[in-house]
Amino acid sequence: MKANVLSLTLLCLIAASGLQAQSESKAPIVSFKRGLGITPPDSSFSINFRFRIQNRAVYNTVSEDDFSAEDIEARVRRLRMRIEGFMLNPKLTYMIQLSFSRGDMDWSVRDNSSINNSPNVVRDAAMYYRPTKSLQLIFGQTKLPGNRQRVVSSGDQQFLDRSIVNATFNIDRDFGLHVNYFNKIGKFHYQIKSAISSGEGRNANISSAGLAYTSRLELLPLGEFTNKGDYFEGDLEREPKPKISLAGGLCYNERAVRTGGQLGNDLGNPANMTTFIYDGLIKYKGIAIYAEYMERRVDYPVTTVSGSNRIATNGSGTNIQASYIFKNNVELAARYAEVTPGYKTKPFTDRTKVYALNVTKYLKAHRVKLQGYLGYNQTYRYSTSKHRNFWTLGAQFELGI
């Protein structure tokens, strides 16, 4: 129903633009640079439409020796529509992103969260104001300035998906006010990104008494990356000179009511969460090396809901990945990721490790690509001292504009 309403709305907008073009002496400006863009003759606003699809098939084995299927994933992992542009003048912009596939609307999370009891169709709905080249203000729901891999779009990943470190500790999206500052000293660029947000995550219908406070510092000592290459994975630009980005950040979520702060099920009691983030990126002549460390500390991570334990996510994780892209636009990438739970939650949570290889054929950069994945997964359960090791084989086709 919602998809039908959205389609009808888009048709009406396009039709209205056509009618206006007939009545005005000047035709609207239509652009195909990034999606489908329309600007009316008076340049009072602009609207740009984009979409992308991720179709995925994944096979998980029973164990490292038993190759029969433990489970098979075959689905539309992501189906997104993105609408963006400016209003009144180019300094005031907006961005809306909607998700339509079941796996992209957090159904399993919202089923047990009292503050978010509907599918998360709205991922981003934010207004941006840039009064100067160095200063940007953002108000609305969008990604917090957390770990780099989370901020990099899922459409710009070089693996089928982000690492287990991101899945466990990322601070995701939230509603709030962001202040970003960009500047440089000679060739040395730096960025300071900060946000005050509700702390309850996307599409929450209420907010607790506590807020979330997030800040991130990025240092680019060798200058900016080509075409903002520090925010897409793989060195598709084949940087002619070495480029480096070093970053650190922190998010303090006061009186968080969900197991992952902005994500997860309801906790039995509110908890204060502090997430530390460190990451670094190097790109040079087709080589890309990325490393990330995250740690979350929670005052009282073990809570109870209806007689059952509800655990706040805490502990630490490390993700390292390296890649090389050949001249035929085939990329080979390798990853090692590990997540270790905090001391108080070891009886309830597994330690996990993933070793992965990924091959990507870029047909049109990250917009159209074919990916293959092989992963070796290790889990260790502290409560029983048992291991489970298994293989993952996957393929994904991404198409978008």
Query: Is the pLDDT reported for residue 7 higher than 50?
Result: yes
CA neighbor of 56 nearest in space, from 389, 370, 383 = 370
Which sequence spans correspond to the domains of the chain? 1-44, 45-400
Judged by average pLDDT, the poorest of 96-110, 120-134, 238-252 is 96-110
Query: Contacts for 356-359 with beta carbons within 8 Å, 24 or more apart?
Result: 356/159, 356/392, 357/332, 357/333, 358/158, 358/159, 358/160, 358/332, 358/333, 358/334, 359/330, 359/331, 359/332, 359/333
Judged by average pLDDT, the poorest of 80-89, 107-116, 273-282 is 107-116
Residue type, 250: L
pLDDT band at 204, cuts 50/70/90?
Answer: confident
**End-to-end CA separation in angstroms for the chain:** 24
* Averaged pLDDT for residues 26-44: 86
CA dist 342 and 344 (Å) reads 6
pLDDT digits 0-9 by tens, 221-272: 999 999 999 999 999 999 999 999 999 999 999 999 999 999 988 999 999 9
Helices marked H in 86-131: 107-110
CA dist 264 and 368 (Å) reads 32
Query: Is the pLDDT reported for residue 19 higher than 60?
Result: no
Query: Is the pLDDT reported for residue 312 higher than 90?
Result: yes
CB neighbours of 131 closer than 8 A, spacing ≥ 6? 91, 137
Task: Give a three-class secondary structure readout of 335-372.
Answer: EEEEEEECHHHCCCCEEEEEEEEEEEEEEECECEEEEE
Report pTM. Answer: 0.89
pLDDT of residue 28: 83
CA neighbor of 73 nearest in space, from 165, 168, 161 = 161
Average pLDDT of the residues of the chain: 91
CA neighbor of 289 nearest in space, from 327, 320, 329 = 320
pLDDT of residue 169: 97
CB neighbours of 159 closer than 8 A, spacing ≥ 6? 233, 321, 333, 335, 356, 358, 371, 373
Q: What is the DSSP letter of 392?
A: E
* Averaged pLDDT for residues 59-87: 96
pLDDT of residue 232: 97
Structure tokens at 272: 């204060």
pLDDT of residue 257: 92
The CATH architecture to which 45-400 belongs is: Beta Barrel (2.40)
pLDDT of residue 8: 47
Evaluate whether 265 touches 310 at the Cβ level (below 8 Å).
Answer: yes
pLDDT of residue 206: 77
Task: Give a three-class secondary structure readout of 122-154.
Answer: EEEEEEEECCCCCEEEEEEEEECCCCHHHHCCH
Query: Is the pLDDT reported for residue 21 higher than 50?
Result: no
pLDDT band at 163, cuts 50/70/90?
Answer: very high
pLDDT of residue 255: 94
